[in-house]
Amino acid sequence: QVQLVESGGGLVQPGGSLRLSCAASGFTFSKYAMSWYRQAPGKERELVARISTTGLNTNYADSMKGRFTISRDNAKNTVYLQMNSLKPEDTAVYYCNAVPPTQPWGQGTQVTVSS
């Protein structure tokens, strides 16, 4: 069955960095584009970034451009999100999923940006 396991979150000060990882299993990872999403308290889940099957094409939400970098390692069935220059408004639970999204979603990883 599909399993998505996100990790790498934590508490970081504004301006800091984190690298999130998402290990995928239960489907042919290299054949799916992948995305990172986030959900802040009281808000809907939003798309953060997307990466093509080969990793050659990436897209970002406007507020993440220039700060976040999505990448993937098809040999490890893993997608990454490097987050730099973090802001308090980046505080959220971060999730990964395939494109289109599969079920079930993973548990996510909490990112808290606070001084």
Tokens of 103: 């079920």
Tokens of 55: 């990793």
Cβ burial of 54 (10 Å; 0-12, 13-18, 19+) is exposed
Give the mean pLDDT of 59-82: 97
Q: What is the pLDDT of residue 96?
A: 97
Residue 45: which pLDDT band, with cuts at 50, 70 and 90? Answer: very high
Q: What is the pLDDT of residue 88?
A: 96
Count of beta carbons in the 10 Å neighbourhood of residue 111? 22
User: Cβ(96)–Cβ(32) under 8 Å?
Assistant: no
Cβ burial of 114 (10 Å; 0-12, 13-18, 19+) is exposed
Residue 113: which pLDDT band, with cuts at 50, 70 and 90? Answer: very high
Give the mean pLDDT of 28-41: 97
Q: What is the mean pLDDT of the chain?
A: 96
Residue 67 CA to chain centroid, in angstroms?
A: 13
